[in-house]
Structure 1
Amino acid sequence: MSHIVVERKRRRQMNEHLKVLRSLTPCFYIKRGDQASIIGGVIEFIKELCQVLQALESKKRRKSLSPSPGPSPSTPRTLLQPTLQLDSPFGNGADSSKELGVSCNSSVADVEVKISGPNVILKVISHRIPGQVAKIITVLERLSFEVLHLNISSMEDTVLYHFVVKIGLECQLSLEELAMEIQKSFCLDAVN
């Protein structure tokens, strides 16, 4: 009899923990109410929070190294630094061996572009700027990309845009050029 009571208590405790996890996770991460979906959604949410945290730490380190307030109208291009993705602030070191990618960072935004199968993964971390996501989508469409999926995560005044985009047949850009084009949409805001 005690084994049955112990098992009921364990199940009740598991259900309570799953309820708490579900309440702490934004609803769009959890597609269904079963245990596997709840745990999978929580894992995805935690991964995104880790990416935001690492990006914020990276930005904090960069600010401590260069105390300049931001790009000036005469030098927005000099602050852009495209680099091959070896140690990205987005925390995907394990995936970088399988996927070709670049990062383009500035004091305004961190942009990471990777090829993943037939699509491009675009991640942008910046301060919250009203209308910026629409500007990024406009740039992507102008460059012959089709947005398949967009996920937006925010914490205080920082936002992470995570795009999955399909490469159009007319597109002739390299990953570095795409990262620079996305970065330019932020630089124009900083200048204006």
Structure 2
Amino acid sequence: MSHITVERNRRRQMNEHLKVLRSLTPCFYIKRGDQASIIGGAIEFIKEMQQLLHSLETKKKRKSLSPSPSPSSRPSVLQLTSPPPLASCSPFEAVKELSACCNSSVADVEAKISGSNVILKTLSKSIPGQVVRIISLLEREAFEILHLSISSMEDTVLYSFVIKIGLQCKLSVEELAFEVQQSFSQELLALTF
């Protein structure tokens, strides 16, 4: 085979693999159709799925250590943290992002400021109508929902929101995490009565 034919086959195969990769990655992660954006978006998606897996494994370990968590347990204290620098982001980007976590036996909630948006993630058992309650809360507090991604595994669901802070918004990232956590707690109390 000539060098030109080998190169043509390699490019065709690369394009086919990129098409498959793009079809397997949710469209939110891919900003443009070029190769770098497709690969970068797939990397971000894989990182989020790894975080979900780690979170589920941690929750499973916690559940096995305490077999009967009390449904009325209060959320843990809010923790304002800087996320650990990831291999793909510079230390400057890691310092710019602030996040707040509010975890309980009902749900884990994380709100993270990223640039001019907030990334809100909740991990909990599937509760009917919970996503509607979160959306209502966000709209009531003057947040604009730019994107919502729902991932589920067995009876666990991960809601990932990208939200824009509205001009009328008065909540801090810590208060947002706490309010979303409370929406889970209130629903659980309503279900038990």
Is the 8 Å Cα contact of residues 82 and 98 (structure 2) preserved in structure 1? no
Return the offset for 1:161.
Answer: 1.7
Residue 76 of structure 2: aligned partner: 80
Residue 175 of structure 2: aligned partner: 177
Residue 141 of structure 1: aligned partner: 139
Residue 67 of structure 1: aligned partner: 67
Is the 8 Å Cα contact of residues 121 and 158 (structure 2) preserved in structure 1? yes
Residue 17 of structure 1: aligned partner: 17
Residue 161 of structure 2: aligned partner: 163
Equivalent-residue separation in structure 2 for 1:61 and 1:84 (angstroms): 24
Query: Any residues of structure 2 matched to 1:45-56 within 5 Å, and which?
Result: 45-56=45-56
State the TM-score, normalizing by the size of structure 1.
0.77
CA-based RMSD of the aligned residues comes to 3.0
Equivalent-residue separation in structure 2 for 1:34 and 1:175 (angstroms): 34
Q: Structure 1 residues 96 and 102, CA, compared in 2 at 3 Å: closer, same or farther?
A: farther
Is the 8 Å Cα contact of residues 113 and 121 (structure 1) preserved in structure 2? yes
Specify the code of the residue in structure 1 equivalent to 2:148.
L
Specify the code of the residue in structure 2 equivalent to 1:157.
D
Sequence identity (%)? 69
The answer for unaligned runs of 5 or more in structure 2 is: none
Q: Structure 1 residues 81 and 38, CA, compared in 2 at 3 Å: closer, same or farther?
A: same
Q: Which moved more, 1:33-42 or 1:158-167?
A: 33-42
The answer for unaligned runs of 5 or more in structure 1 is: none
Specify the code of the residue in structure 2 equivalent to 1:50.
Q
Specify the code of the residue in structure 1 equivalent to 2:78.
P
Secondary structure of the structure 1 residue equivalent to 2:18: helix
Equivalent-residue separation in structure 2 for 1:168 and 1:2 (angstroms): 59
Q: Which moved more, 1:92-101 or 1:45-54?
A: 92-101
Secondary structure of the structure 1 residue equivalent to 2:68: coil
Return the offset for 1:33.
Answer: 5.6
Secondary structure of the structure 2 residue equivalent to 1:97: helix
Q: Structure 1 residues 96 and 103, CA, compared in 2 at 3 Å: closer, same or farther?
A: farther
Secondary structure of the structure 2 residue equivalent to 1:107: coil
Specify the code of the residue in structure 2 equivalent to 1:142.
R
Q: Structure 1 residues 150 and 9, CA, compared in 2 at 3 Å: closer, same or farther?
A: same
Is the 8 Å Cα contact of residues 82 and 97 (structure 2) preserved in structure 1? no
Residue 129 of structure 1: aligned partner: 127
Is the 8 Å Cα contact of residues 102 and 112 (structure 1) preserved in structure 2? yes
Equivalent-residue separation in structure 2 for 1:110 and 1:132 (angstroms): 13
Specify the code of the residue in structure 2 equivalent to 1:173.
L
Aligned length, in residue pairs: 185
Residue deviations 1:21-49 (CA, integer Å, cap 9, x gap): 24433456556665445334422321221
Equivalent-residue separation in structure 2 for 1:118 and 1:163 (angstroms): 14
State the TM-score, normalizing by the size of structure 2.
0.76
